[in-house]
Amino acid sequence: MSESLITNTDDVKLEPEKIISQSLPEKRTSIMDRINEKRNDQDFQQRMNVGSTLVLEIYRVLMGAFLVAFVPQKCGEEICSINENIQREDILSRSAISLNAVTMAAFLMLYFIEVKRENKLISYLEVNRFTSVDNDSVGNALQKLSSEKKQVIWDYDGYYQKAGYGCTAAFIFNAILSSIVVYSNYLDNKTVTVYLTNLLFMGLKVADVYSTVNTKKNVFYSAYLKNKVQFNDVDPDKVISDEESLKVEELTDEEEL
């Protein structure tokens, strides 16, 4: 009889605890909290910066690649329209327009690789002003990443470098051939001013790419963020544990065998 009473009293004591635990739902984060969290996130800020800068970059390359189309030139006694600049029948003008298009395509490919590279750097690395930025220090920080992610970063850095060299060659040949066509249809001072301005647009981009990729293996400069921000540490979300690192190394050794 006493045992049954003890059991019943225990059951009664447990019931209020259940009610209390059920009456405390988890607090949901509001939409504004999520927006503020995103705004303070380094990766989100960097991607927004890349997106806004890319639009201006493409406009700059469009004007700099199609020199024959956008530079004011003379048709008879009047200024040529864009269609008239493009639809000339002589071989030299057609060759120049074709090279303009090739140059534009080369730079679009460069931008594709550039954005992919930037996205990998933003995803896997971060800007840490409290750590060193030299090649060896960044190399040590990269040990926190998996071998696959490290190789992806190096690969895209190499692709970007090769694309930059190709665009530099296209830029030089395009400038030379376009200048011949533009000079043969010279209008007035506007021809020189617009030509040099558009050429400067493209030249600054080529110089910017060269300074970004002409670095040591583990020095990764951003192609879009101001003041040549350097990614010098691993993103905390991408750090692998010692156990995961050991598994990756074992899989790599097995693949090599």
Q: What is the tens place of the pLDDT at every residue in 63-78?
A: 999 999 999 999 988 9
Check: pTM over 0.75? Answer yes or no.
Answer: no
Answer yes or no: is 11 within a domain.
Answer: no
Answer yes or no: is 28 within a domain.
Answer: no
Answer yes or no: is 69 within a domain.
Answer: yes
Q: What's the pLDDT score for residue 236?
A: 78
Supply the range of the domain harboring residue 193.
Answer: 40-256
Identify any residues that bridge with 219 across adjacent strands, giving them in sequence order.
none
- d(Cα 76, Cα 87) in Å, to the nearest integer? 15
- C-alpha distances in angstroms, 238 versus 37, 134, 141, 165, 228? 19, 21, 12, 31, 23
Answer yes or no: is 17 within a domain.
Answer: no
Ranges of the chain with pLDDT below 50: 1-10, 12-24
Q: What's the pLDDT score for residue 232?
A: 73
- d(Cα 99, Cα 107) in Å, to the nearest integer? 12
Answer yes or no: is 1 within a domain.
Answer: no
Domain count, the chain: 1
Answer yes or no: is 16 within a domain.
Answer: no
Q: What's the pLDDT score for residue 251?
A: 54
Identify any residues that bridge with 230 across adjacent strands, giving them in sequence order.
221
Q: What's the pLDDT score for residue 37?
A: 56
- d(Cα 209, Cα 206) in Å, to the nearest integer? 5
Identify any residues that bridge with 234 across adjacent strands, giving them in sequence order.
125
Identify any residues that bridge with 79 across adjacent strands, giving them in sequence order.
74
Answer yes or no: is 229 within a domain.
Answer: yes
In the block, which residue shows the tokens 């190399």? Answer: 139
Answer yes or no: is 26 within a domain.
Answer: no
Q: What's the pLDDT score for residue 257?
A: 52
